[in-house]
Structure 1
Amino acid sequence: MKIFVTGIGVVSAIGQDAEQNLRSLQSLTTGLSRSANFNLMLGEVRLSNEQLIEKLDLPNEDYSRTTLLAILAAKEAWSNNKINKSVRTGLISATSVGGLDRTEKYYFESQTSKTARTYSLMTHDNGRTTERVAAELGISGYIGTISTACSSGANAIMQGARLLEGNKLDRVVVGASEPLATFDVKGFSSLNIFDNEICKPFDDKRSGLNLGEGAAYLVLENEHSISVTGNKPLCMLSGWNNATDAFHQTASSPDGKGAYLAMINALAKAGITAGNINYVNAHGTGTSNNDLSESMALRNVFGDAMPSFSSTKGFTGHTLAAAGAIEAVYCVQSILSQAPLPNLNFSTPMKETNMTPETSFRSAKIDYVLSNSFGFGGNCTCLIFGKAW
């Protein structure tokens, strides 16, 4: 079965829609800066919650930031789509922390005040964002929520594809949203893997990651849906796979076993070989462990015929659950632009693998793009996007 991508929407530190994000990628403009709230280099969306509510013309309610970012990106992806009884439509949304940003605000208040807005604690539920996005888009069919750490967004896309392939749905909105919650910042701080400057993925002198926030959604459709909606395919979702190496709670296996398995099985699912891949959007967090592990896996898959590859986290920061969805949108844009995407701040190849990522936005033949997303516990997912011939 052919699965088409017919809509994309994204908000991140480098833009409030897909066009702004692409312009930043083309001009090598990072969205990372030192945060006044945390005194760390972070990728913050330049819109307050109040501004998001106004921009989206929403009722003045107590939304989590996760929900607001999700609605902004999902509405862009959904665009002019409408509900049609002959097109079975669903939504799968992913997040790690859900509405924890609101829980952090109101928890202590609820312990001491009889007038505390304890109802706000209910926005912590990860499914709350999914339900709110579904209501905004008018989707009342299949609705699901996924939370698998940093592979969440990619797994939402994979699950949507499986539902189409299994003839459970004809059209599905898939993606993820993640805010910059204090929980995330302090949690990653405890791992001692922050870079005090802008991260340097795949550089021999890399020293850690930067966190970011954002959301991205894609519309996936089968051929029946396209015949009804009239939507023009942007590209195809050709292959996908998830593999878990279960090496460590927070670290990737040194040999990249899970990543390797996810990639080779995604290639098999797509019915292509490693030689068909023109660009790899790597997970590439900038940490010592991840970049070495992923590099080893890439070497094992591609050998000496390594295609163009890069990590775009120097632009957005690591957006955790949203990373796989945001980078999936970037992969679609890579195909549409016929250009691999750049890796910022690279200067010295890693001595172990001597691999040099793409550092400029240049024209090239891009038929297939491979995207990696890796979560805690070794939850590794690979997606493959191809031209809609």
Structure 2
Amino acid sequence: MSEIVVTGMGAISSIGLTVAENLYSLQQEISGIQKSKHFKSNYSDSLVFGEIDRSDEQLFDELNLASKCGFTRTTLIALKAFREAIAQAGLSSEEISSKRTAFISSSTVGGMCYTDHLYQDANLLGEPSEYVRNYEGSDHALQIVKLYEMKGITDVINTACSSSANAIALGARLLETGKVDRVIAGGSDCLAKFTVNGFNSLRILSEVPCKPFDTNREGLSLGEAAAYVVLERKEDLLPSKTSLAKFAGFGICNDAFHPSATSDDARGPRMAMELALKRASLKPADIQYINAHGTGTPNNDLTESVAFSKLFEVVPPFSSTKSYVGHTLATAGVLEAIYSILAIQNQEIYPSLRVEEPIADFPFAPTLKYTPETTIQNVLSNSFGFGGNCTSLIFSACI
């Protein structure tokens, strides 16, 4: 079977406008979760968010778009991360538009990020807004396809918080089966009243920055981000192209337990990790670091810890990088995949921030301080979504 490698990465989040800026914040333990400056809602004063430090107008100007009409914030941040990923991979315009290039993206809020416009347009209040054609979850991808004249396979996945992890998995399968020669995979989600109000109704939003795997965790912090990776077959690469990491395997399952919670016995998370290990031909002991799903909610952190205790004889170092950027919904899987690759490249572990008292029910705890000069060959990255969707990805150092 072909070896799938990552040749390009792009990311924009609350801790950086590029992958390099994200890396600096991870190493310096700088969190981007705070009161919002650009996002306005009834909860702006009471909640904190992982907000990207750019207004829509600033993003328009930096992207140098010919027209501003119909570009939602979801699309703007997606385009910024997309450009960085294809630039690092050195993809030509001919390669990007080739029928042999697939674009697999993801989003949960999509074009519904401008909830007020959506409400007015749906209820025929006044003249149609400039976004009346842009509310679909796939709009950001369709805009990118149009801008780059892409002709290959295009798909947009919404499996909640596992969306972009599944986009990477689907991209790998397309490469393995020979249907395409390269894949640009990832996702984009921005802050929106639609999602903030929805999560608030579940009573799982924290008024202070989240602290995953802490006994006194209060809930999650919502964030916004976009990120993409370029996947290619190693055998097809020119000698001059650099492989950033090997995509070793994935596991996808559904525990069919609850619309918004994982099962108490952690059967979904455990099975996803087991399937990923099997596909990668690895044993649990071969994993040196786990980038946990780690949302900071009572349910998730407990069940993920249960899954660790059942799968590993000795639980490897683990942490939740959501403590830096918040829960970025559909983007979480690919953003944390990039953080996992950075951990491999730099042989370092980024901690779970703000943990004062690790969950007491287990004989292990998350990494609490930035740890450089470690040895990492294989990283397991977890993404567990609403509806029971559980996905685990494994990335390995290139030999």
TM-score by length of 2: 0.93
Kept after mapping to 2: 8 A contact 1:95/1:147: yes
SS in 2 for 1:122: coil
SS in 1 for 2:241: coil
Report the Cα offset of residue 350 of structure 1: 1.0
Matched, 1:60 2:60: no
For 1:244, which of 248, 254, 259 is the aligned residue? 254
Give the AA of the match of 1:385. Answer: F
Q: Distance in 2 between matches of 1:112 and 1:171?
A: 43
Report the Cα offset of residue 205 of structure 1: 1.0
Instruction: Look up the match of 1:167.
Output: 178
Instruction: Look up the match of 2:328.
Output: 319
Instruction: Look up the match of 1:9.
Output: 10
Q: Distance in 1 between matches of 2:73 and 2:98?
A: 34
Give the AA of the match of 1:124. Answer: Y
Q: Distance in 1 between matches of 2:70 and 2:85?
A: 24
Instruction: Look up the match of 1:199.
Output: 210
Report the Cα offset of residue 187 of structure 1: 0.4
Q: How do 1:99-114 and structure 2 match up within 5 A?
A: 99-108=111-120, 111=123, 113-114=125-126
Q: Distance in 1 between matches of 2:52 and 2:119?
A: 24
Kept after mapping to 1: 8 A contact 2:257/2:263: yes
Q: How do 1:63-142 and structure 2 match up within 5 A?
A: 63-79=71-87, 80-82=90-92, 83-84=94-95, 88-108=100-120, 111=123, 113-117=125-129, 120-142=131-153
Report the Cα offset of residue 102 of structure 1: 2.9
| Identical columns (%) | 42
Report the Cα offset of residue 231 of structure 1: 2.2
Kept after mapping to 1: 8 A contact 2:121/2:132: no
Matched, 1:349 2:358: yes
Instruction: Look up the match of 1:44.
Output: 51
Q: Distance in 1 between matches of 2:160 and 2:248?
A: 24
Q: Distance in 2 between matches of 1:88 and 1:182?
A: 38
Q: Distance in 2 between matches of 1:138 and 1:112?
A: 33
The CA deviation string for residues 1-30 of structure 1, in whole angstroms up to 9 with x for no partner, is: 100000000000000000000000000000
Report the Cα offset of residue 115 of structure 1: 2.8
Q: Distance in 2 between matches of 1:318 and 1:188?
A: 11
Report the Cα offset of residue 81 of structure 1: 0.9
Matched, 1:272 2:279: no
Instruction: Look up the match of 1:263.
Output: 273
Report the Cα offset of residue 140 of structure 1: 1.6
Report the Cα offset of residue 201 of structure 1: 0.4
> Judging changes above 3 Å, is the alpha-carbon distance between structure 1 residues 270 and 11 closer, same or farther for their aligned structure 2 residues?
same
Kept after mapping to 2: 8 A contact 1:107/1:121: no
- Give the paired residue count: 386
Kept after mapping to 2: 8 A contact 1:75/1:137: no
Give the AA of the match of 1:55. Answer: E
Greater Cα offset, 330-339 or 348-357: 348-357
Matched, 1:295 2:302: no
SS in 2 for 1:123: coil
SS in 1 for 2:243: coil
> Judging changes above 3 Å, is the alpha-carbon distance between structure 1 residues 86 and 110 closer, same or farther for their aligned structure 2 residues?
closer
Q: Distance in 1 between matches of 2:164 and 2:194?
A: 19
> Judging changes above 3 Å, is the alpha-carbon distance between structure 1 residues 64 and 87 closer, same or farther for their aligned structure 2 residues?
closer
Q: Distance in 1 between matches of 2:181 and 2:118?
A: 40
Report the Cα offset of residue 299 of structure 1: 1.0
The CA deviation string for residues 245-268 of structure 1, in whole angstroms up to 9 with x for no partner, is: 011000111111100000011001
Q: Distance in 2 between matches of 1:86 and 1:107?
A: 38
Instruction: Look up the match of 1:32.
Output: 33
SS in 1 for 2:194: helix
SS in 1 for 2:8: strand
SS in 1 for 2:133: helix
The CA deviation string for residues 87-112 of structure 1, in whole angstroms up to 9 with x for no partner, is: 82110000011100135324326645
Give the unaligned 5+ runs of structure 2: none
Q: Distance in 2 between matches of 1:86 and 1:323?
A: 28
SS in 2 for 1:300: helix
Give the AA of the match of 1:333. Answer: L
SS in 2 for 1:327: helix
Q: Distance in 1 between matches of 2:17 and 2:192?
A: 19
